[in-house]
Structure 1
Amino acid sequence: MITWIMGILLIASFACFVIYAMRGGNLTIGFFILTIVWTLVYFLGIPFGVGEPFDVIKETFAEPALTYGPTIVQIVCGAWFGRVLVDTGIAASISYRTAKVGEKNPVLATICVAFVTCLIFTSAYGVGSAIAIGVILFPIMGRLGVPKRVAVPVFTLSIGAAMWINSVMFVQFAAFYQGYESPDGQNIEWGTHYLSFGIPAMLVQMAAVVIFILINAKAIENGTPYEVGDPNERPASVPEVPIWTYVLPVVPVALSIVFQWDSVPALFLAVIIAFFGTGYMKTYKGFVSILNSTAKTAIGDIGSLIIMLLVLRFFQHAAVTVMADFGPALTAVVPNNEFILALAVCILAPLALFRGPLELYGAGSAVISILMGMGVFNSWFLFAMLVVPSMTCISSCVTQSWNMWAVEYNELEPKTFLKNGVPVYWLCTFPIMGLASLLLF
């Protein structure tokens, strides 16, 4: 009887969290409240022989946060490198020069803009970086006459494609699986195994972006030039940086693949090369100034994200602890056929929108905690089940910060953005999940 009561309370609280997340509620607050509720539900069963008492302060709130340090370091370094690319002028220079190459052909120029955006965000991360690049690229597309309904999805889908090999995004998703004891003994970690899937996934999504542009080629060619944004927000001139620095966005990934480097030393080396190549190391004072300003801005960009991830770790411990007592019941209900589950996730991929049950940075965090609590699925399979819809959804959901900024900056109706972007990301889900089955799990 007590198990039924506990189950009802867990389902009710989970449903409330789903509704809260989908309505745009603050996830840090939501995770913290859900952690407390699920912990209380767990202790409700102890007097009746369900579960065993444990040190909540130590095991739920202390240890998960203290063991999360390495992930935070990787997130900070990735965000810092992204800010360095922006503040040294490398990102802006790449954007301007590439657009100039294709300015006589609007369709070709739009494709170039897409690939430049993807290139920059293979290492850059955060809404600050997206804004810094967007205020350059959107006016360029506006002058070319690219309709806003095309320009905005091209920008956001290209950022989303880059996220497949962005180490900052990877470690955030990997955090959801930290500590999971996979039946096959494998751990979710950055390296060649993941990148052997991540790179093809990025290429698939970029191919979809190109197809989207070509489908709208007539509208682009016949488009009327327009102004977008405040001219005062744009750089007054094209930053002068050496051409060879244009390869720096992919240097961290290349070092990980070729030399098996971890992301932190790879990012640090790329930062040093960026400062050196753009002349910011010519004087000690100038070097210290750019060093401090980029680090300060980068950490400010991700401060709230780090707090949310720490609270998420609290919830994960609570969820796995509680679900251990419900694992056998769930195993009898949830299908264990990987093909059926993968196909179902692809078909239902739009449920990731608005922080729904297939979005890890939403209600999906509770879903994955429940699945991990069952202890029957391998880690990379579970990674694909929620990361594929979450990652593709990043490209077209208005709850994603840089997407919302792009929509508002271009004064585009959110429903128009969704109408054009969602079909592209939804269709991408199927081949990318297929790649995951071949290369990841």
Structure 2
Amino acid sequence: MEYIIGILILVSFFGLAFYAAKGGNLMMGMLVMAILWTVLPMIGNTFPTNPAFVAANAENVSITWIQAFSKVFQSGPEGWGTVLVNVVFGAWFGRVLLETGIASTLIRKTTELGGDKPAVTCILLCIVTTAIFSSLFGAGAVVAIGVIILPILMSLGIPKVLSVVSFMLSIGAGMFLNPVLFGQYTAFFLDAEGRTTYPYEEYVHWGGIALAVQLIFTICLVLFCMRKKKTVHSWAARRPIRQKMDFAPGKSLLTPFIPVFLLIVFKVPIIMGFLIGGFYALFVCGKLKNFRTACRTFNKDFFDGVVDTAPLVGFLLMVPMFNKAAELCIPYFNALLGNVIPHSTLFITIIFCVLAPLGLFRGPFTLYGCGAATLGILKGIGFSTAFLAPLMIASTTVMNVSCCITQSWIVWGISYAKVSTRDFLKMSVVCGWIICVILQIVTFVMFG
């Protein structure tokens, strides 16, 4: 019986992969999978046929249907509620950076520093974009920054494809340290009580290395592609700078780095870091002139921030359900695959390096697709969270967040710059593949 249930569970996994690749609604996909992966193992538990299997998995097999339903559909999303609070406050902080003009001022100052050297300007803008998106998050934020940066790059003679790819890779690099995005990843790594098993403090060392790897690769890409380009004197490049002359104060430009700095150096809780950074920005930018204005500004930015993250919240509330259901499937994964998939971190690392493009199109290597099922299978076989978390986060952040056309802000960037999807993917997939290989090797060296 355990083999039949195991095969049905595996078939449903491939069904999710096909559904995700076809662009299906992932929120509904995760809910359906949570139901299937709860019902199937419970049927197997109700009608066991192998005494050895029952003895080896007594705790899982003895769970009742009501206990299973409570574990999956109640405790699962409740456990992620604490993480959701971090995401909301981070989204508010991002709106503060946009509304105060701090993000746009950083970009304008950087463009002036680059002068009339396109490659230098592009590299400096990549660095600033990475720094900004270490705190900023959301499609709205990408669009707000993109409408400033992309016209500058293209008007300086930088090829459109390179402009979009370097911009998206820079965003992805910053996301490796972004507390808001990491808060979403933690939904995949919760214990039975809903507490995260992979805290930011444990992740940040690897995350900083990943940020550096992707940013350095992006800089090398720009230098390689622009090696034969001549200096371009384009008056059009100044137009985005002159759209709005009120620069944010110089002392406010430190704001994007405040929450992460406080967390890493002084262990200040991330929500408090967001509050300190956000109100510091509002104060130095003159947005807190009186109590009534402060209330109105705080309410508006908080509302806009919640709207920015709303599309992801539903999906991320389904993920803990799916994770809890995957725990019920662990005995069946072990029975079916325990002797098939080698328990070798080197083997898994090689697979992730060779098949890195499977992180595209919501595939089995991205957590924002059917990678959640892949994670469940690998956890069930016995690989540690310390190894699996960076392995999955690398492929998700590089291939999905930075390179995939199923990502909303990448679709916007391609459309805005009038770049063909084919040309974008030809460059982005190769770049993402190389970055993934480097990061997976780093992960194996550090945690394998």
Same fold per superposition (TM over 0.5): yes
Alpha carbons of 1:322 and 1:261: their partners in 2 closer, same or farther (altered >3 Å)? same
Q: State the identity as a percent.
A: 31
Partner SS for 2:200: coil
User: 2:407 aligns to what?
Assistant: 400
Deviations 1:258-299 (A, max 9, x none): 101221111111111111111101122322222111111110
User: 1:420 aligns to what?
Assistant: 427
Deviation at 1:218, TM superposition (A): 4.1
User: 1:157 aligns to what?
Assistant: 169
Q: Is the 8 A contact 2:3 2:332 kept in 1?
A: no
Partners of 2:337 and 2:2 in 1: how far apart? 13
User: 1:48 aligns to what?
Assistant: 47
Deviations 1:343-380 (A, max 9, x none): 22112111101111111111111110122223x22111
2:225 equivalent to 1:216: yes
Deviation at 1:227, TM superposition (A): 7.8
2:109 equivalent to 1:126: no
User: 1:262 aligns to what?
Assistant: 269
Letter in 1 for 2:45: I
Deviation at 1:180, TM superposition (A): 7.0
Partners of 1:295 and 1:220 in 2: how far apart? 44
Letter in 1 for 2:394: V
Q: Is the 8 A contact 1:396 1:425 kept in 2?
A: yes
User: 2:304 aligns to what?
Assistant: 297
User: 1:309 aligns to what?
Assistant: 316
Alpha carbons of 1:357 and 1:132: their partners in 2 closer, same or farther (altered >3 Å)? same
RMSD: 2.3
Q: Is the 8 A contact 1:349 1:389 kept in 2?
A: yes
Number of residue pairs matched? 432
Q: Is the 8 A contact 1:194 1:440 kept in 2?
A: no
Q: How does 1:279-358 map to 2 (within 5 A)?
A: 279-358=286-365
User: 2:197 aligns to what?
Assistant: 187
Deviations 1:43-97 (A, max 9, x none): 3223412734231442211111112121101111111111110111000111111
Deviation at 1:425, TM superposition (A): 1.7
Deviations 1:108-141 (A, max 9, x none): 1111111111111010001010001001111111
Q: Is the 8 A contact 2:288 2:294 kept in 1?
A: yes
Partners of 1:299 and 1:424 in 2: how far apart? 32
1:383 to 362, 386, 389: 389
Deviation at 1:219, TM superposition (A): 6.0
Runs of 4+ in 1 over 6 A off after TM superposition: 222-228
| 5+ residue gaps, structure 1 | none
Partner SS for 2:426: helix
| 5+ residue gaps, structure 2 | 50-60
Deviation at 1:235, TM superposition (A): 8.2
User: 1:7 aligns to what?
Assistant: 6
2:201 equivalent to 1:202: no
Letter in 2 for 1:40: V
